[in-house]
Structure 1
Amino acid sequence: MRAKITRELLRSLEPKSAAFDINDSELRGFGVRVTPSGSIGYCVRYYRPDGKQTRQSLGKSFPATSVSDAREAARILLGQIASGEDPAAVARKKRRATLTLRAFIAEQYREWLATNTQTPDATEKRLLAAFAAELDRPLLEFTGWIIEKWRSKRLKAGRAHATINRDLTALGGLFSRALEWKLIDTHPMDSVKSLQEPDARVRWLSEDEELRLRAALAAREARERAGRASANEWRAARRYDLLPNLTPGAYCDHLQPMVLLSLNTGMRQGETLKLRWDAVDLERAILTVRGATAKSRRVRHIPLNPEALATLTQWRAQASGGVVFPGADGEPLTEIKTAWGNLVKAAALVDFTWHDMRHDFASKLVMAGVDLNTVRELLGHADLKMTLRYAHLAPEHKALAVAKLTRPTARAAGVANG
């Protein structure tokens, strides 16, 4: 819409469901934008050096600023544009110089995390907590020295090397995005090296421990069945509705099938919780970990061995819905700490976490002679470096490799000279 912008015109405007502009017929380039909330902001329109039209706010609104004052401000700004200035570029430069770590996370990085990472809330929480003292520092002020100083304080406070490295990894990812989006000129962490960490922990179950874990699972199932039968007897005597019977062979709940699947596939807990039935092919005995649920964002296919296949087949017969392990609302389970903690206690396992079932899967594959690259593919590691932690479990393969290196003996050398 084009019209002479006056106080009377602006007072008569009614907001619409979408923002709209009015271009002044008296001063070319001068205009106002009316938002759905009813606010009226003054602005100018002009062509950038690349030929694209853009709109620049004057930072003034009606009625706080009169039309005549706003038109004069627009006239001055349009004159600067005519002499070669680009106010949008100036505003971006000013914003760039003052953009703090806190503002960048809130205004830009949070949305990127939500779209591109598995744990956006956890990453944001880590950044806000670990770098609380630096949140109001402009991104352009960060240097390697400032980050080294932050790290020294954390070390003196007794923080573990691994924790500090994870904090810096999160910060490094943030700066990579800021550099990509041209908000900083160089990556401030290019010269910051990771702290040396102890060898990665690899924990697997001994034969006796695995027997105890399986026995604890079976005992838990028996208790649940007995409890269900007792409850139904009590309810029947009072003519209450009975609870569903646990048929022979059926699982009492999600815990046993989840544990058996984890031991036989090496899936991460998050991957198991988010698994859907349309990613499970019982006929071909294979399941797919989709990129959206994988930590590496890469799709991988895991063959199901007989126990994993039998477990999922039985669970499929008694489960409904699209999620393999649903909660009460049909959405993926989010909390299994209590049930898992009680199971570990019942099995008398020491220092054994849910993630250690993944280590157990990988360790026993390597000890059975499976090559590391195949183990890497099954685990979904992006490169072999992570898988190498299991290399020491295959000493016989190292021995076979060295045995292939043959050298001439002294006797053979004498025969050749004779």
Structure 2
Amino acid sequence: MPDISIGRLRGGYCVYWAGAEGKRVRHKLEACSRAEAEAEAIDVYRAQHFVQSQAGMNVSAIWAEYVRDLGDRPTAKTMGYTGKAVLAHFGHYRPDQITTDLCRSYARMRMDKGISQGSVHTELGHLRSAMTFAERARIIDAAPYIERPAKPTPKERFLRKDEIQLLIDSTEAPHIALAIHLLFATAGRVGAILDLTWDRVDLDRGVINLRLDDARTRKGRAIVPINRGLMAALQTAQAAALSDYVVEWGGERIASMRKGFEGAVTRAGLKDVTLHTIRHSAAVAMVSSGVPMERVAQYLGHSNAAITYTTYGRFAPEHLADAAEVLDFVQLRAQK
């Protein structure tokens, strides 16, 4: 729902909002009080804006409305990319015309083009979210079922500490090396590291706050301590800082570190390594060293420790050890 405003018109109330090309749209209300006007305004907006609602509003129109409702959240930007494929296939359909066969044909078509199952899972997930939004906003009576392929099993690849050091040593640009160091030492996501500003780095207390005050991010972010190695790197970086951002280039926040990172991976001779591999590696390092799972969950910014157990429990040194002992039939026979 975009911003709508209540005003006065000929002794009564009216509602107005920015329409096409920024032109103001205004409608007189029947309400006799401000509270009544605010409630009526929502119905008037929906009646005017969703003229095609229920009977004719297609997926493309709903997708656009959902993106507008998201505002400046990161998902809105991502849906600009996923929407290219999704809307080409589903855009001209109404929600009530979406079937399981239509979803399956989309998945087959995308994977036949070499798109990963995980990406297709995400794309159809965005379609599902848009339809759920439409139901919640009363644009449609009920969201259709969106079938999507199963989410792939997380990749097992992780880096040892010596490989992380090799990766940093193979980085040509200092800001990329600092970013990799931050990614591993904080177990943060790439977006959190690129968003990080010096006002959230407390070198005196030895703490980094990866959270944003405006809570725009959907993914959890944590407040984590600074270890000795990272402290030295941050002190050097702060002394040369030209902007408010910790990871910068030419005094500006960098939009992406992918190219510099991939160059370092190639020079280091590492295989099957992505940016997310570093966060995964940090989690594995903590769990395999015996750090309690609840503390690992806090470090990763997981709101539910069950997620951490499911993903990383198998890396714990004593994981299922007691169960294995129960199944030791050789030892059992020896005791008889």
Q: TM-score, normalised by structure 2?
A: 0.75
Q: 1:113 aligns with which of 70, 94, 100?
A: 70
Root mean square deviation of aligned Cα = 4.0
**1 or 2 for the larger relative contact order (CA 8 Å, sep ≥6)?**
2
Does residue 313 of structure 1 match 2:235? yes
Does residue 333 of structure 1 match 2:290? no
Q: 2:301 aligns with which of 380, 384, 387?
A: 380
| CA apart distance, 1:186 | 1.4
Aligned to 2:155: 201
Letter of the 1:390 counterpart: Y
Aligned to 2:15: none
Is contact 2:168-2:264 (8 Å) kept? no
Aligned to 1:29: none
Aligned to 1:65: none
Alpha carbons of structure 1 residues 208 and 183: separation in structure 2 relative to 1, 3 Å? same
Greater mean alpha carbon deviation, residues 89-98 or residues 119-128: 89-98
Alpha carbons of structure 1 residues 100 and 316: separation in structure 2 relative to 1, 3 Å? same
Aligned to 1:350: 271
Does residue 185 of structure 1 match 2:141? yes
Is contact 2:210-2:221 (8 Å) kept? yes
- The 1-side partners of 2:105 and 2:85 are apart by 17
SS for the counterpart of 2:230 is helix
- The 2-side partners of 1:294 and 1:20 are apart by 34
Is contact 1:204-1:359 (8 Å) kept? yes
| CA apart distance, 1:212 | 2.9
SS for the counterpart of 1:356 is helix
- The 1-side partners of 2:48 and 2:28 are apart by 15
What do the CA deviations read for 1:136-188 (whole angstroms, capped 9, x no partner)? 22334434554345445445666432222111111111112111100111121
- The 2-side partners of 1:389 and 1:126 are apart by 26
Q: Name the count of aligned residue pairs.
A: 310
Aligned to 1:32: none
- The 1-side partners of 2:176 and 2:47 are apart by 59
| CA apart distance, 1:109 | 1.6
Q: 2:176 aligns with which of 215, 232, 255?
A: 255
Aligned to 1:47: 30
Is contact 1:381-1:387 (8 Å) kept? no
Letter of the 1:113 counterpart: L
Aligned to 1:147: 103
Q: Which aligned pairs between 1:5-404 and structure 2 lie closer than 5 A?
A: 45=28, 47=30, 94-96=51-53, 97-106=55-64, 108-115=65-72, 117-144=73-100, 146-154=102-110, 159-189=115-145, 192-206=146-160, 208-217=162-171, 220=172, 253-291=174-212, 292=214, 295-328=217-250, 330-383=251-304, 384-385=306-307, 388-399=310-321
Alpha carbons of structure 1 residues 308 and 294: separation in structure 2 relative to 1, 3 Å? farther
Aligned-residue sequence identity (percent) comes to 23
Aligned to 1:240: none
- The 1-side partners of 2:169 and 2:44 are apart by 73
- The 2-side partners of 1:121 and 1:381 are apart by 23
Alpha carbons of structure 1 residues 255 and 209: separation in structure 2 relative to 1, 3 Å? same
Letter of the 1:392 counterpart: R
Alpha carbons of structure 1 residues 53 and 264: separation in structure 2 relative to 1, 3 Å? closer
Is contact 1:325-1:333 (8 Å) kept? yes
- The 2-side partners of 1:213 and 1:122 are apart by 28
Alpha carbons of structure 1 residues 340 and 281: separation in structure 2 relative to 1, 3 Å? same
| CA apart distance, 1:331 | 3.6
Letter of the 1:142 counterpart: I
What do the CA deviations read for 1:290-342 (whole angstroms, capped 9, x no partner)? 145775354521111111222212211221332112233x4411133333233
- The 1-side partners of 2:91 and 2:193 are apart by 36
| CA apart distance, 1:385 | 2.4
Alpha carbons of structure 1 residues 315 and 95: separation in structure 2 relative to 1, 3 Å? same
- The 2-side partners of 1:87 and 1:342 are apart by 55
